[in-house]
């Protein structure tokens, strides 16, 4: 009877270790796994004359900071997606936003710079 108890305890401990280690054998073989894309940089909104300008991927959104009512959205640059690839990997996010006079200066992850005129909402590529 003692031998069966020992075998049972050995098997139980092996099973527990296997459960603790995880069932994904790829993860144990490759310890250096990572996400497909780094999380985008958080861009703080800018408030000018009571209007908040924030970003979402490739757009600037003008809204009321108190009520969150959206006045308008403006696409700053197009993103051309390849159909067979995941969209989030192909997104090109805005990573910098600052104000100069009545123009928002916008930079994206590809280090392209754009101007968005707040008076007429026209976009101009200023540096590629």
**Residues 51, 52, 53, 54: what is their CA dihedral angle, to the nearest 10 degrees?**
-160
Summarised one tens digit per residue, pLDDT across range 70-111 is 999 999 999 998 988 888 888 999 999 999 989 999 999 999
CA 50 to chain centre: 27
pTM above 0.85, yes or no: no
> What pLDDT does 4 receive?
66
Sign of the four-CA dihedral 108, 113, 118, 122 = negative
- Token pair of 39, please? 């999380």
Nearest to 126 by CA among 108, 79, 46: 108
Alpha helices in the chain (DSSP H): 2-21, 25-29, 87-90
Q: Would you mind telling me the total number of residues written for the chain in this entry?
A: 128
Summarised one tens digit per residue, pLDDT across range 36-81 is 677 888 999 999 999 999 999 999 999 999 999 999 999 999 999 8
């Amino acid at each position: 009877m003692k031998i069966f108890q020992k075998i049972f305890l050995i098997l139980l401990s092996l099973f527990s270790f296997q459960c603790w280690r995880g069932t994904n054998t790829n993860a144990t073989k490759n310890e250096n796994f990572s996400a497909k894309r780094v999380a985008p940089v958080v861009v703080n909104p800018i408030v000018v004359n009571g209007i908040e300008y924030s970003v979402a991927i490739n757009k600037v959104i003008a809204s009321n900071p108190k009520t969150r009512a959206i006045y308008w959205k403006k696409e700053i640059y197009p993103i051309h997606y390849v159909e067979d690839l995941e969209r989030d990997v192909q997104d090109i996010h805005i990573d910098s936003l600052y104000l100069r006079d009545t123009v928002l200066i916008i930079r994206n992850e590809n280090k392209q710079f754009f101007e968005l005129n707040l008076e007429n909402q026209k976009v101009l590529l200023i540096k590629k």
